[in-house]
Structure 1
Amino acid sequence: MRTDVIRPLNDRTGPFATVVMDATHDTATATEQYRLRWRDLRERLADAGADDATLAVLDDAVTGADAPDGTAGRILVADAGRVLLDRHTEVPPERGTASWGAVPDLLPLLTAAGDDVPTVVVAVDRTGGRVRAVDGTVEAVGSDVPGPVHKAGTAGPGEGSADARVEETLKRNARAVAERVDELVRAGNAGLLVVAGDGPGRARLRDELAPASAEIMAEVENTGGTLPEQIDDTVRAAADDVREQRRITAVTSYATASGRSDGLAVSGVAGIAAAARAHAVETLLVDPSAVPGTELVLGADPTAVAATAADLLDDPVASAPAADALIRAVAAADGVVVLARQDDDVRLEDGIGAVLRFPVGPQS
């Protein structure tokens, strides 16, 4: 997944409180349950050493926010000054977590947050379509030139030319929608375009789209001009497919690199720490179920991580769990983090592996 969400956290020195909690609000007692869950997590933070200022910041954030509608999770990261990250997720965590440490607890954070898939949604019909941008804005789009959109029911004198005018109108409307969709895909850096409508309507739009938009298009069969807001379950499923394909691609890339002798794949805490210090990690694979509980020493720079203080150029300033330290270091150098699974056909020493931008160490 992209690490944009955690990169700004590197601008703060900590310590940090990280909270991942169930924020579901779908029953009459949901508000009280939510407060009870927060009270339990707050006690865990206090027991772990969180200071009163940080706890007060989180109190305000948790109790002051509007409740989501339905099932949801919530992720918060805070220090003594302010809340640094506050996001709701569509799926609540299996269990709430609360931690206090020199770096945010990034592994459960990334597990809960998932990978963002900016999505443009289109519902096409014969007059054009309704388009929902990445930011959620919905607009009706069609050609400025009016024309007939329905063919004659029976053939007769001159009906052929009339039908040709209808086809031209439909094509013109599809072209107008495609032009707007292409703009929104580029502007929102979309990774997915979901198109609903009947088969001919989708085909007309597909033919008019720029290749970059057509390549990320997923189609939904619908003949009633369904509004974008009414197919959110389908959109979520399509986004999940994109996330899984990204994950599989990253795992396959690591497996391929591991089979070569050019040093562009490395596994294990020590080797990846060395690569992170060199800003060489392009993609970090982490299996949450297999990462050891060992800690790494940290320098002042987020990429300064090592198994021992002797490996750092400067004096260490803190220590942190290996997974969190390495994720933070990779994010600081614009790397990508991918969550691996036990059934992936790759070998990950210490539950982590990395594809490198360039070799590091003896192989280089």
Structure 2
Amino acid sequence: MRLDWIRPLTETDGPFATVVLDATHDTAEATEQYRLRWRDLYSRLADAGADEATLTVLDDAVTGADAPDGTAGRVLVAGPGGVLLDRHTEVPPERGTAAWGQVPDLLPLLAAVGEDVPTVVVAIDHTGGEIRAVDGEVETVSSDASGPVHKANIAGPGEGSADARVEETWKRNAQAVAERVDKLVRGGNAGLLVVAGDAPSRARLRDELSPAAAEVMAEIENTGGTVPEQVDDTVRAAADEVREQRRVAGLDSFRTAQGRSDGLAVTGLDAVVAATRAHAVETLLLDASATPGTEVVLGADASAVAISGADLDQLGQQATASATPADALIRAAAATDADVVLVRDGDDVPLDDGLGAVLRFPLGEQS
């Protein structure tokens, strides 16, 4: 799981208020239920010591936003500078959470939001395609070819050459769509390309795509040139599949590293904390049900995580805050461009203290 979207939170001093809220709006009573859920979380923050200014900016953000349509969740982080993060999620949380502390309550955020999968969506037929880019912009693309796009219904003299001209027009339209799609996939750093349309049109497009775009392509059977907005449920399912593939790949990477003797896999709180301070963590594995409840200490730098203040003293740093190991290590992973894998029941990955890491380099080789 990439953490680019929470990196700005590592560059700001706390304290922070973190809220994960069910924002579902699908009944006549939804507005009142939403208000009551928020007032409960507001009270929790106030009881935890959140200051009036932070509570006010959060209240304005929650009550002032338009209600989403249908089931949804919402995550917010606010600090001294105001609201730092405000995102809606497609799936509401199982329960709302509210926390106040020197470090954002990051684990519930990751569980609620998941990993971004930038996606390009295409609805294609023989006349061209309608494309939705990563940023949501929609455009219609076809070639400049002025040839026919429909074959003759009745065969006759010369119809073979006419059909060949039609197929050439189809091919040129597919080439035009593929050229634009390749550019949007590359420019948007897309991890998923969803293509809807009839099978022959999808095949023509696939043949014209660059290898990089074809590799992330997922197909939807459709014969009507469906516009991208009408396939969003399938797009979400395809994105979920990409997320799970990436998560499993992270687990496999850890298992493989554990099976070698080069020191590129560590497990346990002490070992992962030491690797974090050395900026050696490439992928952090975290089993939320097994991480220790005790807190670790933090220095001024987000990667300065230690079991005790004495450990930081040896590095010439002063302890400035404390946090749970999960929140501290997720924060450090975001600051050091590491990935995170949330381990689930049944993953069969043995982790001491619910923590593990795949390393960029063995700790014994650091200078």
Q: TM-score range by the shorter chain?
A: over 0.9
SS at match of 1:42: helix
Distance in 1 between the 2:31 and 2:268 partners? 44
Say if 1:51 and 1:80, in contact at 8 Å, map to a contact too. Answer: no
Whether the aligned pair in 2 keeps the contact of 1:73 and 1:91 (CA below 8 Å) is: yes
State the distance in 1 between where 2:81 and 2:206 align: 50
Partner in structure 1 of residue 360 of structure 2 = 357
- Report deviation, 1:259: 1.1
Does the aligned pair in 2 maintain the 1:57–1:81 contact within 8 Å?
no
Amino acid aligned to 2:280: A
SS of residue in 2 equivalent to 1:41: helix
- Alignment of structure 1 residues 265-276 onto 2, 5 Å: 265-276=265-276
Mapped contact 1:298–1:306 kept (Cα < 8 A): yes
CA shift digits 1:308-355 (9 cap, x unpaired): 112112121111111000111111111111111121121111111110
CA contact (8 A) 1:266 1:272 kept: yes
> TM-score scaled to structure 1, two decimals?
0.98
How far apart are the structure 2 equivalents of 1:182 and 1:273?
41
Residue in structure 2 matched with residue 176 of structure 1 by the alignment: 176
Match of 1:316 in 2: 319
SS in 1 for 2:3: coil
CA distance in 2, matches of 1:108, 1:317: 23
Q: How big is the shift at 1:93?
A: 0.2
Instruction: Compute the displacement of 1:32 (Å).
Output: 1.1
Structure-to-structure mapping, 1:1-364, within 5 angstroms: 1-312=1-312, 313=315, 314-361=317-364
Q: Distance in 1 between matches of 2:127 and 2:144?
A: 11
> What amino acid is the match of 1:139?
E
Q: State the distance in 2 between where 1:57 and 1:81 align.
A: 10
Question: How far apart, in 2, do the equivalents of 1:338 and 1:42 lie?
Answer: 30
Output the TM-score relative to the length of structure 2. 0.97
User: What amino acid sits opposite 1:138 in the alignment?
Assistant: V
Deviation string 1:17-36 (CA, Å, 9 cap, x unpaired) is 10001001111111111111
> What's the secondary structure of 2:179's corresponding residue?
helix
State the superposition RMSD in angstroms: 1.2
SS of 2:4 mapped into structure 1: coil
- Which amino acid letter does the alignment assign opposite residue 64 of structure 1? G
Shift in CA distance, 138/81, structure 1 to aligned 2, threshold 3 Å: same
Q: Quote how far apart the aligned CAs of 1:81 are.
A: 2.7
Deviation at 1:124, TM superposition (A): 0.5
The farther-off stretch of 113-122 and 147-156 is: 147-156
Asked if structure 2 preserves the Cα contact closer than 8 Å seen for 1:16 and 1:78, the reply is: yes
Q: Deviations over 1:155-212 (max 9, x none)?
A: 2111111011011000000000000101110111100000011110000000000110
User: Post-superposition shift, 1:87?
Assistant: 0.4
1:154 is paired with a residue of what secondary structure? Answer: coil
Alpha-carbon distance in 2 for matches of 1:43, 1:353: 36
Query: What is the identity percentage for the equivalent residue pairs of Structure 1 and Structure 2?
Result: 76
What is the deviation of 1:46?
1.1
Query: Partners in 1 of 2:145 and 2:203 — Cα distance?
Result: 21
Task: Note if contact 1:53-1:81 (Cα within 8 Å) is conserved in structure 2.
Answer: no
The alpha carbon displacement at 1:269 in A equals 1.1
Q: 1:126 and 1:87 mapped to 2: Cα distance?
A: 38
User: Unpaired runs of 5+ in structure 1?
Assistant: none
The structural deviation recorded for 1:363 is: 10
**Which amino acid in the other structure matches residue 60 of structure 1?**
D
